[in-house]
Amino acid sequence: MKTIDIITFIVPSLISISAIIISIKSNITSKCAVDIQTRAAINQETKECNDKNQAYEDANTDLLKVSTRESLEIAIESYLSIYDHACQLYQDRKLGKKSFRKAYKNDIYNLIDIGYYSKEAPFKEFYKGEEKGKFKSTWEVYCEWKKRDNKTKLGFNL
């Protein structure tokens, strides 16, 4: 085999390998950007919801209570919506599965465990089961993780 033949074989291969590496790095960078944007959006909605809740608690007249209650309900729906959007990104693999679970497991468990199953159930109207729920992705992620946790407790590692 001549040197020129070797070069004509190696150069295109190196170019292909470089393109694959660049593609992988681009995908990782894209996931990081989506993760950062998601965290920022969740933080913003959490702050907004807390502010509206405080305004509702501070309201001292019936008229003000009604007005702030409506604002609070809108903020809660927006808060739940941003988590549902994050869960959709998780399901679509646009966020790192392990890092998302590690960062948001407790939050998502609390949304359903406290928001749906607790005695007070403040979010029950938003989570009415797998088929009827307004925030279906959050419900699906919750069920997936609970199933995985139960299997792990029984000795099956997934």
- List pLDDT tens digits, range 82-125: 999 999 999 999 888 888 999 999 999 988 888 777 777 777 77
Query: How far is residue 16's CA from residue 88's CA, in Å, rounded to a whole number?
Result: 33
Q: What is the structure's pLDDT at 65?
A: 82
Closest CA to 38 of 91, 100, 98: 100
Q: Examine residue 158 and state whether it is found in any structural domain, yes or no.
A: no
- List pLDDT tens digits, range 43-71: 888 888 888 888 888 888 888 888 888 88
pTM: 0.70
Segment 2-7 shows an average pLDDT of 56
Q: Examine residue 70 and state whether it is found in any structural domain, yes or no.
A: yes
Number of domains in the chain: 1
Q: Is 30 left (phi over 0), alpha (psi -120 to 50) or beta?
A: alpha
Q: Examine residue 41 and state whether it is found in any structural domain, yes or no.
A: yes
> Would the CA dihedral through 18, 22, 23, 25 be positive or negative?
positive
Write out the residue range of the structural domain in which residue 89 sits. 3-153
